[in-house]
Structure 1
Amino acid sequence: MNVESHRISKSKYLLCFLLYIGSACLFAIYSPQAQVVSLWPPAGVALVGCLLFGFRFLPALFVGSLLFNSGSAIWNNGALTPTVLEASGVIALGSITQAWANVWLLRYYRINILDAPSYKQVSLFIVIAGVCCLINALMGNAALAYFYSEAGQRQMDWVNLLTWWGGDFLGVILVAPLLLGLFTRKPDKSDSKHVWISLSLPLFIIISAFQVAQLYFGDSVVINTKNNFNLQAEALENNFKRDMDSYTQALDQLTVWVAQQKEVSKEEFFTRSRQLTEHLPGIKGISWNPLIEPDEVAAFEQTMQHAYPDFKIKGQPLLPTDPLVVVKYIQPLESNWEALGFNVYANPARKKSMQMAKKLRADVATDIIQLVQLEKNDPGFLIFSPVFQSVDPADDSMGGYDSLKGFVVGGFQVSAILESSLRLSVQKYMDLYVYEKGNPTDRVYGDTALLTAINAQQGLNHQFIMKHAQHEWTFNLHVPERVITALQVGDMLGFLAVQALFGILAVLITLSAFGYHERLSRLVDSRTDELKRVNDQLHHYAFYDSLTGLPNRRLFLDRLKQALELSQRNHSGVALLYMDLNGFKAVNDSLGHEQGDQLLIEVSRRFNHVLRHSDTLGRLGGDEFTLLLPNSPSQKDIMLIVNKLTGCLEEPIILGDSSLVIENSIGVAIFPQDGSNLVELMAAADTAMYAAKKQSETVCFYSQKLKAEAIAALDKHQTEA
């Protein structure tokens, strides 16, 4: 690529150096993601500097890269260490190696992107840039892995490598042609302007669009990550609440059924409870616990021993006056056998919950407990649903009252309820921590280590409260910072891939089009002028008489049609004059057609000379002329025009050695009374002209009499035929 200067322009050299550092700082600061810089202009500046100044620009390139990378480390870490200098030196070495390799290959293949490059040359320029940009990406990532990672953990970050390569690649193919178009002078100023407009300006627009797109997309990625998290968290919130409602509804339905039964049988209870809980894995046990007075214990045990021979009530009342609330039936029995016959009212905490349930006449849940049928550290809870029954079923009056019959009790496994709700894909990266009674240390579910990140406001967190059975649980859905970063970088890499493909296509089109633009412009301009001349000539021939220059039949009829349409809208009149030269055939026969043509030309000139600009004079053919008078001319106005037309012919016309005085016959028809459309008006004017000629008069206005005579003549002709 032979664009290197024979002498160094100090100002241009310094400008390239400052552009290298300035563009690096600018694009690093305004990149929305620290891990992603989709367009790295310094790579293009480095190539331009080496193309313009050759190897003499390499020291400036090395120093610029070293300053930027070491300065970035100081800005981020606050110190300049030998490790930073070593890593920055390797990266700077990669920058000059990449730029010079690119220059050497372009020169080897004789590619000059300012010298009308072909499609093949542009494609090769893009391929060379893609290959060379791997150099600094590999060396830079190797330096970062070696100098900033501990021994045994030095692995290449392939995501960072691809990002690095993509930024350098777009920087070279977009920025290098733009700067070459600005820095390379042409002898002709118009040529330089052409380069700026055809090459530099489109590339500048593309680069600006890319950067705006990155800023917008980067911000959108951050916002979308938050919005998606909130949407999915709200979906999970609804899922949790819906599933918890399903459990409490199943318990309440069983409670209503038990209240309606005079006596609850074992088979009916098992059947009914199984139907209600078979699709609810969080219920580990559901039981019917009737209220037993102390003097009814022996009879109750004797009755239960018919079904369960070893049945004994377990758990002594806390107070001598306390009733017993005994587990009579429980489903499933196999995993809850030990609970059969247990006096639930013997437990102080559960006694308190049942007393509240009776008082509120509503379901009441216990605090988190360890259910006997669950493994250790698998929390659960009980819900007591009171069953009331009317003392006198036949008394349905307002004064009737009911009494507590017992409790339907459900044993629930927290993990089964919550994990069955986590059906959405967000469970792959979203953590859950639940606590009760508004106290974060009262764990219900999840890892307490999440509290540290939540309290420090790290990552994303969605908190909501769910109330059930007089209890309150606080849910915290959390996504850690590392997961957020991984999601956002993944989204940006997809954008980078699209941007790289679009960049290749844009450069391919822009540079290829630029290569042929100037030559095609000249060819198009020349061809355009030629076509314009031909088109004007064809237009004149199509609408104007070639002999007299007057509008021909086509143009005159078009103007007459427009005049009639305008007259109809404005409710005005139009006059049409048909004119014929008397004795013109004799002139042609005696003097020849050439003299006849000269006569027509002179007559046309004289007619035009006496007419107004608003009047339209046309030649239909031969010696027939037509004249259109718009704007409702009166008969006086028409006669004034007629006198001018006849008067201009009084002066003899010189044709060669002959001097002729020619006369004309004029027929006048007026729209709309003499004809309601173009055809009728033309026929009326023609009839009037022939009447004038027949009567040897100069002018004749169309009338009903002429119309009647024309119809009679036509009928006579048809009869004779």
Structure 2
Amino acid sequence: MGRQLTRKFVSRSNGTWAASAIAIICFLTGIAVTAHVGLLIRNELVAQHKRDIATELSEARARLETEISRTVAHGLALRAFVAELKDKRFVAADYRNISTELINENPSIRSIGLAPGNILRAVFPLEPNKAALGLDYRSNASQWPAVEKAMVSRETVIAGPIELVQGGRALLIRIPVYPAEFSGQSLADRSYWGVASLVLDEESLMASAGIKPVINDINLSVVDKGEDGSAARILFGDKKLAEQDHVALPLLLPGGLNWELLGYPSGGWSSTGKEVWITQFIGSLISLVFGVMAFLLISEIYKVRSMALHDPLTGLANRRLLEERMHQLAAMCERSGVGFEIFYVDLDAFKPVNDSYGHSVGDQLLIEIGDRLQSQTRQSDTVARVGGDEFIVLTPGNMRSPEKDTFVHRMLERVTQVFEFSGASIDVKASVGSASFPKDASTVADLLRVADRRMYAQKARSKQSAMNVPENGVPQAG
């Protein structure tokens, strides 16, 4: 029984390995596709998270843009007031009330300065800025470039932020004043009066706009990209934020500022969700199902193929497979000159075993004979069942007569051993006829007929010398 199971395992092992390999490939392919789809979903979740962050940043950007524009508007109101007094001799006291009102209205404004002819003549509040009175911007290397730019461009210029001596950082708004000599005079034809300057406290400006380092679990930074955008400088917030995979929105600000608002979630981008887990679970399940289906399908194909080429009872090769291998060896013989041998084995008086013990015992005897023949052959040999109690052994290569006789004797000695099953002992007899290719025949069909005739000749001789079964004796298969 153990040899029967081993034989069935060996006969089906190639199909099992092939089915297993294809099933694994199908499963791994499905897992790879699932992983790719999962990655796409994760990327989409991150993209959606970035869109949500961008929406939050848009609100913060709008507040900051509004606050800076409002402050610049205050400066423009001051410029309009200065223009109204263009024909009057400059007196600082004339501008105290409006300057004080602007500072009180906008807490981001730290101070206001007026510089007719680019010389600072008035500053509000006077303390602690009194020492700055009389400053000629043209002689100040740090402040003159922005004043000159405003004067030449005739537009508002915002510089900074700069570190203040009295502490903190500030933005400097330079508003050039070009009063009109008459109504409708073009700006290009107006004469330069001087410059009005507003000093904005950066911290107060950000607070007034509701800009904080962290808003709704979003880390914020404000970056100055510079005039040409080549160098970025962190103005506010986390300095390391620019190194993260952040969301950036440009700030549309007056005065030539090139700022960006950066945002990054405190917990990083979210790439997990029920969509990912559902996709992975369903994808893995489908991959497993496809793998199992592939295994069963390939196994069934090999099983059907094996059934078509093997005897269902013994698992040995059937006549079809035997003849295929014989034709292959015959074709090889034409090239190499090396033939093959066949041995036709037939059990004598097999029918009495079925009649006396039943077909189940007869089937077990046939299985045992197949095992015995296989035990006497090489791995390259083929043992086939070609009839009810007929077997053929195919051995590649030609044998000399002594070798053939020895092989037949050894094979018969093993086959004709007593078969014991379910308490019964059955004598086994067999007849063998052999033939050599291409010595005895030039075709496979002729070779089979030669071996068959020799087997029946041997059977006839055995019957002539056979002894009768004793009374109350055991029927024999031979």
Provide TM-score, normalisation by structure 2: 0.43
More strand by share: 2
Structure possessing the higher relative contact order (Cα contacts under 8 Å, 6 or more residues apart): 2
Normalising by structure 1, report the TM-score. 0.30
